[in-house]
Structures are given as structure tokens and as C-alpha cells.
Amino acid sequence: MIKLEKRRGIADVIGMSLAPILLITPIVFMHPKTILILRLLGAYLVLLYFSLTNGLKPAAWIDKNILHIRTGMMSKDKIQENLVETMRYETNHTIERPRVGEVEAHILFIDMKGYQEWPLTISDQMEHLDQLRLFHFISDNFWPLGEPI
């Protein structure tokens, strides 16, 4: 398996997973009932589990000729190499995000056998866009993309 490791280290992942404590602590002090505390603690432990397991996975990886790209905390896209007819990578796009506004994005256009060409929007600045990390990973290990447009 070939991996594009995340730039976020274990300290970053743990820090992000501890952030909900800031929301839970005031509620616990305002309502010191045991059942509420147990429910909040249970919810936090589930959140902590998902944060740690997803936060420690690579940003992208290739396993058995399938490219896996993490496109969100809980989502990933899979591209099977033997079905790919063409792929191209475009930069200089923006997308609208709720509560954030416009953010930079790159788009990977994939044409696979039996499907119409479809765009895969890539917007994770730190893990994918910075220094064209995802572009180089795909081009060097999966599919020759040529130069980004």
C-alpha cells in the first residue's frame, strides 16, 4: 500500500478531538445530574473514537490498484485504475462553503469506463492542495496526469 500521509500530527488530532470538552463542560456544571453526565460522556467517547480513527488515516492511499482519496472527515472516494480512461487535474477553482465563504479548490476530472466524466472537488488545503500534494501523489503513483491546468 502506498500512502500520502497527513500533515496533521497526532498532537493535532488529539487537540481537535478534545475540543468538544469545551462545549460539554459548561453543560455538566449547569446540570449536574448523573444521567446527563453519563450521556454526554458516552457521546464524547463515541466522538473521540471517530476523531482518532479517522484523523490518523492517510490523506490518500493506493491499495490493490484502487486510489482512495479522503474528501472529508468521514468520507472518501475510490477510483479503480483498470476502469480509468482519462484523468486531468485543474487548479484555480473556488467553491462556496457555508459559514466560511469562498475557499480554494482543485478539481480532479475522472473519465471511467461505463461512466460519464465526473469532477471530484478537492478542497483540503493542508492535506491535498498545498504544494500540489495530491496531484504529485496521483501522478507519481497511480495515473500520469500531465501538467495541472
Average pLDDT over residues 7-32: 70
Greatest C-alpha distance within the chain: 61
Structure-model confidence comparison of residues 83 and 18, the more confident one: 83
**pLDDT value, residue 90:** 94
118: confidence class by pLDDT, cuts 50, 70, 90: very high
* Residue 116 three-state SS: coil
Task: With CA atoms as reference, report the closest residue to 67 among 149, 20, 148, 128.
Answer: 128
What average pLDDT does the chain have?
A: 84
**pLDDT value, residue 33:** 67
Q: What are the domain boundaries of the chain?
A: 2-55, 82-141
Task: With CA atoms as reference, report the closest residue to 133 among 59, 70, 79.
Answer: 59
**Which residue is it, cell 478531538?**
17
Most confident of 4-8, 24-28, 45-49, 138-142: 138-142
**pLDDT value, residue 51:** 73
This prediction has a pTM of: 0.75
**Phi-psi region at 60: left, alpha or beta (left = phi > 0; alpha = psi -120 to 50):** beta
Asked whether the predicted pLDDT for residue 20 surpasses 80, the reply is no
Alpha carbons 41 and 37: distance in angstroms, whole number? 6
pLDDT digits (tens, 9 = 90+) for 82-114: 999 999 999 989 999 888 889 899 999 999 999
**pLDDT value, residue 66:** 96
**What cell was used for 61?**
492511499
